Amino acid sequence: MAKAWLARVKFTELHEVTGAFGQEWISPGGGGFPKHLIHSYNLKAKTVVFPIGWAITESGGTNEDNWKRTQYEFIFKDFCHTVLRHEYIKKVDLIEVDYNPNDFQPNKDLVVMTLRVPRRNRVRTDKLVNKHRTTQTIVVERSMESSMVVDGVGRKKRTFLQYLYELVMQKSEWQDFARQLYKQNLVPKTQRFAILITGPVFPRQLANFKQS
């Protein structure tokens, strides 16, 4: 591990946000940054230190009502893009810290598959997931019970019981795994239940899965 000069941003406010699966974000009030894509943060000081690779730019202009508007744009390659109004940022400077660039190099051979399945299909889905964990197609997984309320216009309100899965798996195998899900009718082809693929996977992200 070596020393590096990294950008430190002081915000007017800063919060920790946890998603449905335990995904962790740092939010300055508008937008946010995944914890696995930032070097460090301090809630009390309201600061975030960004690793090498983040582009932080300030821009100004006027809107359609001729009001002056200044904003900051935070971009980390194709993985995160957040735009904040100028008043959210108090200061941007540089700080020298211990830095391991490997913490922010994604594993392009892995992806994250998010599943929403009817709760009645949980046992059969668990069986399929465990089978693919044995072969290391699925590296790690986490799951939880959930529900979704649908209240369309002119329709009776309905609650759908779900089971949510988040799977870190081999990129080369996800399509075959998805075909098996559909073949066994574990994930109905409707808007209510879906498969979402995101990737690649970062080291800190994988460590967070294993701790869940």
DSSP 70-94: EEEEEEETTTEEEEEEGGGEEEEEE
For residue 191, pLDDT beyond 60: no
Torsion of CA 172, 103, 167, 194, to 10 degrees: -90
Give percent of the chain with pLDDT exceeding 90.
58
Q: Which of 73, 77, 14, 89 is nearest to 51 (CA)?
A: 77
Task: For the chain, give the mean pLDDT.
Answer: 87
Global pTM reads 0.79
The domain locations on the chain are: 2-103, 110-211
Topology of the domain covering 110-211:
Alpha-Beta Plaits (3.30.70)
Residue 153 confidence (pLDDT) above 70 = no
DSSP 8-state symbol, 120: G
Distance CA 154, CA 114 (A): 31
3-state DSSP call for residue 162?
A: strand
Q: Which amino acid is at 33?
A: F
